[in-house]
Chain A
Amino acid sequence: MSAVEDVVTEAPAVEAVPKRAMTLGLGTSLVVLVALLIVPLFVKNFIIFQLTMLLIYGLAVLALNILTGGSGQFSLGQSAFYAVGAYTSAILIEYTGMNYALTLPIAGLICFAFGFAFGQPALRLSGVYLALATFALATAMPQILKLGFFEHWTGGVQGLVVTKPDAPFGLPMSQDMWLYYFTLAITIGIYIASVNLLRSRSGRAFMAIRDNEIAASAMGVDVALYKTLAFGVSAGITGVAGGLGAIAVQFVAPDSYTILLAISLFLGMVVGGVGWLPGSFVGAAFIIFVPNIAEGISKGLSGAVFGVLLFLVIFLVPHGARQVAIVAQQLIGKLKK
């Protein structure tokens, strides 16, 4: 009897925010959107490429946020889903000559199925144990991609080179700029769909499970189904991000998708604020730009400098970008008065 009561009163695994605080207000969203639209017109191609990667990693962090912030399940295996998405797109483009844009939904669907399937055995695990199981997935993936059995398709250790698409309809823009706007359009679509999902009946079911599984079940929520669905959705979005990443980087190789990528994505989520969707992109900016900044400060000790910077962020704003946003909002509120 006491076992059940323990579970009922157990604290949620993840410190999370209520749904209303999961997104930005309309005004802020518009400002961000306009900035994202015009910035590429004023910067060099390399910066545009980095911004594209920011959006792509932002999507991958967003996917992890839906899983962890939404349904309360940990994952250190997102790099595996990212790799499957990247390879799916690369193989389809290079071997079947399929249009790059069409490969993305296929990458998403395959990863959804993969994540949904992985979610079944993961149902028996939670907390750190689940994190370990997903960790195993992330460490296994690069080796699976190198297997001789798949070499004909994956190119083995060498990987595959992907051709970069030109802007369509003779639009006068560079390949990088076209790819940026293409990625931006997909990112906005997925972001809006994710917000809708978390605000819907399904999203409430995810969060109910995160907060209290037994009560969720008593309200009619099929806990096993929604937990695996959360894994599927998260993997699907990560797969689309992986496909976009393959197109942007023009190259896929097993060692691009190691556990380090999964840890980076996890770090991005924590820095952005667990459960706060816009924070995913702040977190992505952190994992892309801060290593460069660290290298600028000291070439020899870039890892240590990165560590110190990370430590500072976690120490000063433990709830990440969300905390900064809340403080900023309060300050603006005071100024208005």
Chain B
Amino acid sequence: MTQAQLAQGNAPLLAVRDVSVVFGGIIALNGVSFDMHKGAILGLIGPNGAGKTTLFNCLSRLYQPSSGDILMEGSSILTRPPHRIAEIGIGRTFQNVALFPNLSVLDNVRVGTHARTSSDIISDSLKLAWVRRTEADVNKKVHEILDYLDLNDVAHTVVSGLPFGTQKRVELARALAADPKILLLDEPAGGLNHEEVHVLGDLIRRIRDERHMTVLLVEHHMGLVMSIADHVVALNFGRKLAEGTPAQVQADPDVIKAYLGSKDQ
């Protein structure tokens, strides 16, 4: 990618280049490529076992691709350890909710700011002035996010006792606390009812518009993806099946075949 292209502003924020993942003899991902542009909501769909979560885990560095590259703003993320992904602006939520169950909502979201702050154990133990200032900034930001996601009522509640839907919102709050440029959402609609899915769709769009984020949405819930995504990538058996606007992908014969089976089967 040349400097000129970057200057024009049409360079992708995140580029997935020919990524393959092999587990033992099983090819979980086979040469998948796509781009994510700033401010877009990209939906990643596919039947069970299509490789959606595998791709997702490559993006957050839990898996190492066997070949291919992933570029964030032009530089590869594959040399970074998993704990140094948050600092370059990639935030995520987990499919089955991975909160810190014994901590309060407040503390869960505070941990979200870890990548954006610094401290050492000596200064923390002595509660030095600069540590107190950082904590004050953290608290201000955390309360702003709790306000934004309407979580103030449960701020001091331990998360393990909260309803599933609320836990999902806490996880979203924790991801937002790191000020990510890209928000990776792994099946945010899983376990939610029809009404809640609708609210979630509005929320994701609002986050994109008001907090200027780019969203990658991995989702089973077709209705949600088709209503809020700008661009959709469909996977099946580890390969990219189709890519385009929601309408294009929905009309794609290969996608219909993957989901419903074909007539001549």
B73 lies within 8 A of chain A by Cβ? no
Known contacts A18-B104, A219-B86; A204 and B99 CB within 8 A of each other: no
Inter-chain CA distance A24–B146, complex, in Å, is 27
Asked if B98 contacts A219 (CB within 8 A), the reply is: no
Inter-chain CA distance A16–B158, complex, in Å, is 11
A25 lies within 8 A of chain B by Cβ? no
Chain A 171-207, CB-CB to B under 8 Å as 1, else 0, gives: 0000000000000000000000110110011111101
- Select the residue from A196, A208, A221 with max chain B CB neighbours within 10 A: A208
Chain B residues within an 8 Å CB radius of A201: 110, 114, 117, 119, 124, 131, 134-135, 138
Inter-chain CA distance A4–B92, complex, in Å, is 15
Tell me the smallest distance from the CB of B174 to a CB of chain A, in Å: 7
Chain B 1-40, CB-CB to A under 8 Å as 1, else 0, gives: 0000000000000000000000100001000000000000
Stretch in B77-85, B196-204, B218-226, B245-253 touching the partner: B77-85
Stretch in A35-43, A154-162, A210-218, A249-257 touching the partner: A210-218
Q: Which residue of A lies closest to B127 (CB)?
A: A196
Known contacts A203-B124, A217-B82, A220-B178; A19 and B103 CB within 8 A of each other: yes
Asked if A219 contacts B174 (CB within 8 A), the reply is: yes
Segment 100-122 of B: residues with Cβ below 8 Å from A: 100-104, 107, 110-112, 114-117, 119-121
Tell me whether chain A's interface is mostly helix, strand or loop, or mixed.
Answer: helix
Cβ-Cβ contact count across A and B, 8 Å cutoff:
129
Q: Which residue of A lies closest to B120 (CB)?
A: A202
B62 lies within 8 A of chain A by Cβ? yes
Contacting A200 at CB < 8 Å: which of B116, B135, B174?
B135
B66 lies within 8 A of chain A by Cβ? no
Inter-chain CA distance A196–B126, complex, in Å, is 7
Tell me the smallest distance from the CB of B46 to a CB of chain A, in Å: 13
Chain A 301-322, CB-CB to B under 8 Å as 1, else 0, gives: 0000000000000000000000
Q: List 30 A-B contacts (CB under 8 A).
A: A18-B103, A18-B158, A19-B107, A193-B125, A194-B125, A197-B121, A197-B124, A200-B119, A200-B127, A200-B131, A201-B124, A201-B138, A202-B119, A204-B111, A208-B103, A211-B101, A214-B94, A214-B98, A215-B94, A218-B83, A218-B85, A218-B92, A219-B112, A219-B115, A219-B174, A220-B83, A220-B85, A220-B87, A221-B114, A223-B83
